[in-house]
Structure formats: C-alpha cells, structure tokens
C-alpha cells in the first residue's frame, strides 16, 4: 500500500512538472515570436523555433494529461487497496477476539469436565461405597464386642454369678471377706 501511494505521489509530481514545462514552452514560444516581431531575431527563424517549442509543448502536454489520468487511476486503486487492508484488519481483529473467546471457553469446558468427572467418581465409586464399608465394619465390630461380652459373662465363677444374681456389688472391696464371715456365722462351709 505504501508503495502504491508512493507511486501516486511520484506520478502526480511528474504530471505537475510536465504541466509547468508545457507552460514554460508556451512562454518561450511567445518570447521568440515577440523577438521576431521586434526584429532582434529573423521572423522565419523565430517561427521555426516557436513551432519546434510548441511541438515539444504539445508532447509534454499530452504526457501531462496521460500522467494526470494515470494518477486518478492509481489513486482509485490505492483507495480500493486501503479499503481492502482496513477490511482485512477488521477481519483479523475479529478472528483474534474469537480466538481469545474460544481459548477461554475451552479452558472453562476442560475445567468443568474435569470437575464433573471427579464428582462422578466420588459419588459412584468413592463416597457411597466407602460409607457402606464403614457401616458394615462398625456393625461387625459392635457384634464382635457383644459376643466377647457374652463370652466374658459366661466365664464367671460361681461366686461371681451368685454375686451378680443377688446384685451384691462384688466390685466393692471386702465383699469376699463379708461373704466368708457370713458363712462362718451360719456355720456353712
């Protein structure tokens, strides 16, 4: 785009220079004819030189006209090129914005998927199964403790069973001594 604009500027300058040169040639032709009229130059020579200069003026004028048309054409092309560049920049900017949005959405989707997968594994495989195992283990331990308690109760001595039946409170110190004294008093062996 910069190159095209540079060409347009150069062509415009060339066209202006050609127009100035054409005007200069016309001034010189007029000066030659005036010299011929004043007699400082033969009229035939003045006309010949003026004709030569006017021919050059015509060539330069045609070149200036051609360059002016070319400048107009190049300016139009430069303007169209500028529009295309602007449109391309807008499109690129839109795609960059879309890319940023898509990257953010992809990260969010990946994080959501990962979190949902972890939640699904925890609910189906982990937590519920773990709670069931825990419940079963606690119930098993409670049953085992009760069984040990029953075994321990069945292994008591006769005195312990009697004391328990009478609610004697055999856990009190000196209860065995009291029992022995009572037996002696009653003369029971």
Q: Dump pLDDT digits (tens) for 114-148.
A: 988 877 766 556 677 777 888 899 998 888 888 87
- 6 and 17 Cβ atoms separated by less than 8 Å: no
Mean pLDDT estimate for the chain: 84
Of the two residues 15 and 178, the one the predictor is more confident about is 15
Looking at residue 170, its pLDDT comes to 47
Mean pLDDT of 102-111: 93
pTM: 0.46
**Structure tokens of 189?**
């062996």
**Structure tokens of 56?**
């050059």
pLDDT digits (tens, 9 = 90+) for 60-80: 999 999 999 998 998 898 899
Residue with tokens 């005007």: 23
> Pick from 25, 31, 15, 30: which is nearest to 57 by CA?
25
Looking at residue 165, its pLDDT comes to 72
Reported as a pLDDT band with limits 50, 70 and 90, residue 89 is very high
Q: What's the Cα-to-Cα distance from 103 to each of 64, 89, 90, 97, 99, rounded to whole Å?
A: 57, 21, 20, 10, 6
Distance CA 86, CA 96 (A): 15
Reported as a pLDDT band with limits 50, 70 and 90, residue 155 is low
Q: Find the range with the poorest average confidence among 4-18, 92-106, 145-159.
A: 145-159
């Amino acid at each position: 785009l910069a190159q095209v604009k540079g060409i347009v500027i150069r062509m415009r300058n060339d066209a202006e220079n050609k127009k100035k040169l054409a005007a200069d040639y016309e001034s010189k032709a007029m000066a030659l004819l005036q010299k011929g009229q004043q007699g400082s130059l033969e009229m035939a020579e003045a006309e010949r030189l003026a004709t030569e200069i006017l021919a050059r003026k015509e060539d330069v004028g045609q070149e200036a006209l051609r360059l002016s048309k070319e400048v107009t054409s190049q300016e139009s092309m430069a303007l169209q090129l500028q529009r295309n560049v602007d449109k391309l920049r807008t499109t690129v900017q839109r795609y960059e914005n879309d890319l940023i949005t898509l990257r953010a959405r992809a990260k969010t989707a990946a994080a959501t998927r990962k979190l949902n997968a972890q939640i699904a594994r925890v609910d189906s495989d982990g937590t519920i199964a773990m709670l069931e195992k825990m419940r079963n283990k606690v119930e098993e331990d409670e049953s085992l403790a009760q069984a040990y308690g029953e075994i321990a109760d069945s292994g008591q001595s006769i005195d312990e069973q009697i004391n328990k039946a009478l609610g004697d409170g055999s856990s009190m110190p000196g209860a065995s001594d009291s029992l022995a004294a009572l037996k002696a008093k009653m003369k029971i062996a």
